[in-house]
């Protein structure tokens, strides 16, 4: 097969949306292509490909997305000849966040390895950075322009003539038609669609309790769910929730779009363009109300590509001029778009409230819904409870910070999923999926563990520690960090009583409880204070170390303090100590699970 | 990575570049004066280096790398036909002589798609349709890593041997340490996150302005017409003079807008608009700006 293959490896869906964009742009040079998730791609096939464009996101610790691991392990085998892929042409675009230490490492390693196996890199590697004004899109669209020209040369087709904005509207990825026969109710269809996926289980909410003090700025909740069947999970695993858009918001959105009177009509949905993705679990028949409650997001902050569609649909010339400004490839265009959308986290709903012409134009184009509105993404939360000695249980706990913040816009910004969860009441039902996380217990049961989990980073640590205690293993150490012991000291009484029973060594850093003007104490400071003990655990007893929580400066600072232990107690020089920590990570003895 | 994009629109010329230009002519365009006209035109706005086509093709001169912001070629139509067989090496020389995002202009080139194809194969991004009298192309920000040939129609080797090497895995085969694949520059993060271009934008005059901007604004205001938003009438806007505006404001305080865009929403509001952050509203609707909005 010689047509180019777009192969994407995604964790949260960004690389998939980038793949959708790229395959639409390939239409500008009339080049047919295939687009596939690496999850469903057989690695054996790679040897037969002619041109592959990889879109690879990076997980926090610089590791490839989990779905890519089988392919990646095959590529890393040391017995592959250096000319194995000398007939493969490839290009790599990485998606990452330069606030993480290992920015785009998965993509960088892939391009180096393929090069080392003789493959021909046809376009300089692109690197999308979440810290860019336009996010990863900032680098994606110029990279795509370069790639199109290269591909046009390779395949001997005309280079793109029309620009991105002038290119005719691509055909929609799906069709929507009024259903003739009335099927089962849309809600039951939605549930059936998720429960066919065996990783999902029906859960009932048991507890929804605020953990932080009522007068504290941050709202952190403990959620408890029960199940009517046994479920299995390991410490470090994550729970996947599909949020619902709140009913009154859906109603006001549908009304504003002029879809109020057709909101409950049944529509049949057919996925037509297979190079474009559809939200997962969409049933074949549903209503607009269901679509915007469960599958399509109107409260997301849109990608740049959204504005390309608006430009096609608007009936108003002032709007078109404005959109051309936003989409222009000049720095000013990027800056205007950043100021208007990304800086203030403006939602699609809010934008359509200002682009009346686009809203008019959209009204009768239901077939483009899946192109314009991004999927509501499931959210993942580290499980905070353990399944106990048997590994089977009917309960699960989460410890979640409710996302709410302000920007220049008058309306506060809310996280879709956490707003939905905060709004749930005991007795409410929800489908919860279970998925492997990056954290796992040590290979040998009695290996000591050192957990560093400030804030809600404590969730997976609680799972690890409770599991070990249930198995009678007590050499556990936890470093917890918060701002104030009276306000956000999660699970305080639980940790303190476990410490009293000698099942846990518990250390807590409350950064804001000290007097004004005195240096604040963080988890890394406690580790330095405890350096002799830490070094003894790590070096003599082979302890495993886990770091979880916010991805800002904390993980780097903690690793620096661990290296300091190696220097001061292990007699290493700085470079040796750093290499020692790196080796621990490589061997899986030090794991990070951090998020931004 | 540079946020500068390749402007790929069909007609629009990329931001005019005023860096050094290279003007290439031939014996015939030098004799009929067209080459000199081109050079004079270019010299008005930038430094120009002159070259004759023959010397480049014959290798009598070596062009510096990533030197020029633009390359301008002017030949007689027939001469374009003559160089086609040698254009591949010519274009790749010119490609490397151009700075990234630099442009190449071929004046009076015949509408021959082979020229554009050769430009593309040399790595250029062709900006104009093949039918215009001047073909323009750009060196992309990302250079292709290798010089590309068209794809061979058929793979050369018997695929089964490679397939066996790839798919047959001996248990216990060690893996290479993937971290050793990275170079020092791979390990480094981008130095500074690209959050803002820092391009100067026009600011509003300060309260005690002493730089003259306040006077400038005052003058502009005096000259300007005002658009009144009036929902109680027809919902339409109308232009009035400053004098009339005061009268209207005094008699019936309403939402006023000197640009007529305030009610459209943030996308259409200016940088100093008092309504920034508020949703769009209907003309004439009474808007209250709540200054005590913090609910933390």
**What is the distance between the alpha carbons of residues A94 and A186, in angstroms, rounded to a whole number?**
38
Residues A449-477 pLDDT 10s: 999 999 999 999 999 999 999 999 999 99
Residue B149: band (very low, low, confident or very high) from pLDDT cuts 50, 70, 90: low
How far is the C-alpha of A20 from the C-alpha of A33, rounded, in Å? 11
Compute φ and ψ for A63, nearest 5 degrees.
-90, 155
> Which residues lie closer than 8 Å to B216 by C-beta, 6 or more apart?
B205
What is the reported pLDDT for B99? 84
Rg of chain B taking only CA atoms, in angstroms: 30
A570: left (phi over 0), alpha (psi -120 to 50) or beta: alpha
* Domain presence at residue A196: no
B145, B174, B193: residue with CB nearest A131:
B193
Query: DSSP secondary-structure letter at A136?
Result: T
Q: Are B181 and A112 in contact (CB < 8 Å)? A: yes
* B6, B8, B138, best to mutate vs chain A, most A CBs in 10 Å: B8
* B151 chain-A contacts, CB cut-off 8 A: 2, 50-51, 89, 154-156
Cβ neighbours of B286 (radius 10 Å): 9
Residue B217 has what pLDDT? 67
Residue A183 included in any domain? no
The CATH number of the domain holding residue A387 is: 2.40.30.10
Torsion sign over Cα B50, B54, B57, B60: negative
CA torsion sign for A345, A347, A350, A356 is positive
The answer, for B10 touching chain A at a CB cutoff of 8 Å, is: yes
Q: How many domains does chain A have?
A: 4
pLDDT at A530: 96
pLDDT of residue A176: 92
Q: Tell me how far apart the alpha carbons of residues B117 and B114 are, in angstroms, rounded to a whole number.
A: 5
**Are the beta carbons of B242 and B222 closer than 8 angstroms?**
yes
Average pLDDT score over residue span B158-167: 80
User: Greater confidence, A311 or B288?
Assistant: A311
One domain, residues A460 and A579:
yes
Parent domain of A260: 245-372
Q: Among partner residues B8, B145, B159, which is closest to A145 by beta-carbon distance?
A: B8
Query: B142–A123: do the CB atoms touch at under 8 Å?
Result: yes
Strand-by-strand arrangement of the B226-229 sheet: B237-240, B226-229, B256-257
| CB pair distance less than 8 Å for A142 and B189 | no
Helix (H, G, I), strand (E, B) or coil at A191: helix
At A538, which CATH number? Answer: 3.40.50.80
**Which residue has 């549930």 as its token pair?**
A191
Residues 266-295 of B with CB under 8 A from A: 266-268, 276-280, 290, 293-295
Structure tokens at A307: 């504005």
Which residues does chain B have within 8 Å of residue A409's beta carbon, measured at their own beta carbons? Answer: 277
Residue A497 forms part of a structural domain: yes
| pLDDT exceeds 60 at position B110 | yes
H-state helical runs in A392-457: 416-423
Three-class SS state of B15? coil
A148 shares a domain with A18: yes
Provide the CA B212 distance to its chain's centre, in angstroms.
33
The residue count of chain B comes to 296
Rounded-to-integer distance, Cα B11 and Cα B30, Å: 28
- Cβ–Cβ < 8 Å for B185, A86: no
Is residue A174 in some structural domain? no
Q: Which two tokens stand for residue A445?
A: 């049961």
Any CB–CB contact under 8 A between B195 and chain A? yes
Residue where the block lists tokens 């290479």: B176
Q: Is the pLDDT of residue B13 over 60?
A: no
| Whole-number Å distance between alpha carbons of A293 and A249 | 9
Q: Where do the structural domains in chain B lie, given as residue ranges?
A: 21-138, 223-287
CA A56 from chain centre, in angstroms, equals 13
DSSP code at position B74: E
Beta bridge partners, A247, equal: none
User: Same domain for A357 and A394?
Assistant: no
3-state secondary structure of A430: strand
- Kindly report the CATH number that applies to the domain delimited by B21-138: 3.40.50.11000
- The alpha carbon of B99 is separated from its chain's Cα centroid by a whole number of angstroms, namely 14
Other residues' Cβ atoms within 10 Å of the Cβ of residue B202: 8
Place of tokens 């007529």: B260
Task: Round to whole Å and give the CA distance between B264 and B227.
Answer: 13
Task: Return the H-helix or E-strand segment holding A241.
Answer: strand A238-241
To test the contact with chain A by mutation, choose from B16, B151, B161, B260 the residue with the greatest count of A C-beta atoms within 10 A, namely: B151
Nearest of B256, B293, B255, B262 to residue B280 by alpha carbon? B262
Q: What is the CATH number of the domain that holds A267?
A: 1.20.990.10
Residue A354: its chain B contacts at CB < 8 A?
A: 264-268, 279-280
Q: Verify whether the Cβ–Cβ distance A121 to B145 is below 8 Å.
A: yes
Does A172 reside within a domain? no
- Note whether B151 contacts A335, CB cutoff 8 Å: no
Give the A:B interface size as CB pairs under 8 Å: 224
Per-10-residue mean pLDDT of chain A, 596 residues long, equals 89 93 92 94 93 91 89 92 91 91 93 94 92 90 90 86 76 90 70 74 95 94 95 94 93 96 94 92 92 95 94 92 88 88 94 95 94 94 92 93 89 92 95 89 94 96 96 96 94 96 95 86 95 95 94 87 95 94 91 84
Q: Say whether B144 and A146 touch across the interface (CB within 8 A).
A: yes
- A486 shares a domain with A366: no
Query: Which among B178, B194, B290 has CB closest to A76?
Result: B178
Tokens representing A583 are 């080796």
Are A1 and A48 contacting, i.e. CB atoms less than 8 angstroms apart? yes
Residue A468: the pLDDT is 96
Same domain for A66 and A120: yes
Report the sign of the C-alpha dihedral through residues A171, A172, A174, A179, in that order: negative
Same domain, residue pair A107 and A141: yes
SS3 content of chain A, % helix, strand, coil (to 5): 40, 20, 40
Query: Are residues A458 and A585 located together in one domain of the fold?
Result: yes
Q: What is the DSSP letter of A132?
A: S
Specify the pTM. 0.75
Chain length of chain A: 596
Structure confidence at residue B226 as a pLDDT band (50, 70, 90): low
Give the tokens for residue A134. 């336009």
Q: B51 to chain A, minimum CA–CA distance in Å?
A: 28
pLDDT at A586 (0 to 100): 85
Tell me whether residues A131 and B195 touch, CB distance under 8 A: yes
Q: Are residues A266 and A215 in the same domain?
A: no
Who wins on pLDDT, B212 or A306? A306
Contact A208, A442 (CB under 8 A): no
Report d(CA A52, CA A48) in Å as an integer.
10
Task: Determine whether the annotation assigns residue B228 to a binding site.
Answer: no
Give the ipTM. Answer: 0.79
Q: Report the mean per-residue pLDDT for chain B.
A: 71
pLDDT value of residue B12:
37
Asked whether the beta carbons of residue A354 and residue B265 sit closer than 8 angstroms, the reply is yes
Query: Is A171 inside any structural domain?
Result: no
**Do A258 and A139 fall into the same domain?**
no
pLDDT for A225-253, tens place per residue?
Answer: 999 999 999 999 999 999 999 999 999 99
DSSP letter assigned to residue A53: E
Q: Are B72 and B22 in contact (CB under 8 A)?
A: yes
Q: Are residues A366 and A384 in the same domain?
A: no
- pLDDT recorded at residue B9: 36
Using one digit for the tens of pLDDT, what is the confidence trace for B30-46?
Answer: 888 888 888 888 888 88
> In terms of domains, do A19 and A75 share one?
yes
C-alpha separations of A497 from A61, A461, A502, A503, A506 in Å: 33, 16, 9, 9, 10
Instruction: Residue A99: name the closest of A550, A523, A437, A575 by CA.
Output: A550
Separation between Cα atoms, residue A168 and residue A299, nearest integer Å: 27
Residue A478 shares a structural domain with residue A578: yes
Query: Measured between beta carbons, which residues in chain A are less than 8 angstroms from residue B178?
Result: 72, 76, 109, 113
Q: What is the pLDDT of residues B227-281, one digit of tens each?
A: 544 444 444 555 556 666 556 555 544 455 666 777 888 888 877 777 888 888 8
CB contact under 8 A, B141 and A142: yes
Which letter, b or e, does each residue of B96-116 get, where b requires 16 or more Cβ atoms within 10 Å of its Cβ? Answer: bbbbebbbbbbbbbeeeeebb
Contacts of residue B41, defined as CB under 8 A and 6 or more positions apart, other chains included, come to: none
Q: Are strands A89-96 and A120-121 parallel, antiparallel or unpaired?
A: parallel
The pLDDT, as a whole number, for residue B199 is 45
Nearest to B278 among A131, A159, A410 (CB): A410
Q: Please report the pLDDT score of residue A383 as a whole number.
A: 96
Beta-carbon separation of B197 and A335 below 8 A: yes
The span from the CA of B100 to the CA of B6, in Å, is 10
Instruction: Determine the distance from the C-alpha atom of residue A104 to the mean position of all C-alpha atoms in its chain, rounded to a whole number.
Output: 14
pLDDT band of B150, cuts 50, 70, 90: low
Shortest CA distance to A432 belongs to which of A351, A378, A370?
A378
């Amino acid at each position: 097969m010689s047509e180019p293959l777009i192969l994407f490896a995604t964790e949260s869906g960004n690389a998939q949306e980038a793949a959708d964009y790229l395959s639409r742009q390939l239409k500008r040079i009339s080049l047919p292509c295939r687009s596939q998730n690496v999850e469903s791609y057989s690695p054996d096939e790679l040897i037969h490909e002619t041109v592959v464009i990889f879109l690879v996101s990076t997980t926090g610790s610089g590791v490839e997305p989990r779905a890519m691991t089988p392919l990646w392990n095959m590529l890393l085998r040391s017995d592959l000849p250096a000319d194995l892929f000398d007939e493969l042409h490839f290009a790599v675009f990485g998606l990452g966040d330069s606030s993480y230490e290992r920015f785009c490492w998965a993509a960088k390693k892939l391009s180096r390895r393929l090069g080392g196996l003789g493959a021909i890199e046809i376009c300089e590697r692109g690197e999308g950075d979440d810290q860019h004004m336009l996010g990863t899109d900032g680098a994606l669209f110029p990279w795509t322009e370069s790639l199109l020209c290269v591909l046009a040369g390779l395949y001997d087709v005309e280079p793109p003539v029309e620009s991105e904005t002038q290119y005719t509207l691509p055909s929609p990825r799906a069709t929507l038609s009024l259903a003739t026969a009335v099927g089962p109710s849309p809600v039951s269809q939605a549930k059936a669609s998720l429960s066919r996926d065996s990783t999902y289980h029906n859960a009932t909410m048991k507890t929804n309790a605020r953990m932080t003090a009522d007068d504290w700025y941050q709202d952190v909740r403990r959620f408890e769910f029960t199940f009517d069947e046994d479920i299995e999970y390991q410490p470090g695993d994550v729970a996947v929730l599909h949020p619902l858009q709140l009913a009154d918001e859906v109603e006001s959105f549908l009304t504003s779009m002029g879809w109020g009177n057709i909101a409950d009509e049944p529509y049949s949905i057919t996925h037509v363009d297979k190079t474009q993705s559809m939200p997962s679990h969409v049933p074949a028949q549903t209503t607009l109300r269901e679509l915007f409650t469960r599958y399509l997001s109107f409260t997301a902050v849109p990608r740049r590509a959204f504005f390309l569609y608006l430009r096609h649909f608007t009936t108003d010339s002032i709007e078109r001029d404005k959109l051309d400004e936003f989409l222009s490839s000049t720095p000013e265009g990027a800056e205007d778009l950043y100021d208007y959308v990304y800086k203030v986290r403006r939602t699609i709903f809010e934008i359509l409230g200002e682009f009346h012409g686009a809203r008019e134009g959209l009204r009768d184009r239901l077939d483009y819904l899946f192109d314009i509105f991004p999927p509501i993404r499931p959210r993942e939360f580290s499980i905070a409870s353990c399944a106990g000695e048997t590994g089977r249980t009917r309960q699960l706990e989460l410890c979640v910070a409710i996302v709410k913040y302000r920007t220049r816009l008058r309306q506060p910004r809310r996280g879709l999923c956490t707003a939905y969860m905060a709004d749930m009441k005991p007795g409410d039902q929800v489908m919860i999926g279970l998925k492997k996380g990056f954290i796992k217990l040590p290979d040998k049961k009695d290996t000591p563990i050192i957990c560093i989990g400030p804030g809600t980073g404590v969730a997976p640590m609680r799972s690890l520690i409770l599991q070990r205690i249930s198995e009678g293993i007590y050499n556990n150490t936890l470093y917890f960090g918060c701002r104030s012991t009276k306000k956000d000291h999660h699970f305080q009484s639980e940790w303190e009583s476990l410490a009293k029973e000698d099942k846990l060594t518990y250390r807590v850093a409350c950064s804001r409880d000290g007097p004004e003007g005195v240096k604040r104490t963080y988890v890394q400071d406690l580790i330095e204070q405890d350096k002799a003990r830490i070094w003894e655990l790590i070096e003599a007893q082979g302890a495993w170390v886990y770091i979880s929580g916010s991805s800002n400066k904390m993980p780097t600072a903690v690793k620096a303090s661990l290296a300091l232990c190696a220097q001061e107690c292990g007699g290493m020089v700085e470079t040796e100590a750093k290499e020692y920590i790196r080796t621990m990570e490589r061997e899986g003895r030090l794991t990070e699970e951090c998020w931004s | 990575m540079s946020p500068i994009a390749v402007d790929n629109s069909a007609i629009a010329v990329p931001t005019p570049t005023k860096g050094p230009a290279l003007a290439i002519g031939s014996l015939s365009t030098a004799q009929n004066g067209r080459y000199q006209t081109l050079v004079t035109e270019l010299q008005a706005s930038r430094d120009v280096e002159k070259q004759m086509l023959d010397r480049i093709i014959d290798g009598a001169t070596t062009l510096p790398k990533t030197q020029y912001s633009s390359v301008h070629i002017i030949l007689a139509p027939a001469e374009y036909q003559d160089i086609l067989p040698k254009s591949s090496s010519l274009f790749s020389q010119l490609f490397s002589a151009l700075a990234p995002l630099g442009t190449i202009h071929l004046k009076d080139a015949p509408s021959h798609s082979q020229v554009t194809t050769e430009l593309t194969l040399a790595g250029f991004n062709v900006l104009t349709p093949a039918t215009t009298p001047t073909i323009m192309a750009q060196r992309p920000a990302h250079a292709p890593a290798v010089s590309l040939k068209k794809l061979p129609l058929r793979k050369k080797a018997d695929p089964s041997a490679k397939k066996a090497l790839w798919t047959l895995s001996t248990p216990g085969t060690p893996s290479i340490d993937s971290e050793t694949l990275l170079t020092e520059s791979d390990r480094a993060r981008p130095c500074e996150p690209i959050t803002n271009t820092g391009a100067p934008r026009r600011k509003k005059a300060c309260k005690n302005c002493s730089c003259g901007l306040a006077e400038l604004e005052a003058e502009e205001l005096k000259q300007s017409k005002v658009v009144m938003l009036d929902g109680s009438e027809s919902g339409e806007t109308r232009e009035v003079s400053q004098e009339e505006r005061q009268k209207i404001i005094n008699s019936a305080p309403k939402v006023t807008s000197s640009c007529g865009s305030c009610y459209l929403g943030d996308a259409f509001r200016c940088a100093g608009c008092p309504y920034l952050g508020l949703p769009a509203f209907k003309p004439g609707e009474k808007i209250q700006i709540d200054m005590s909005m913090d609910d933390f």
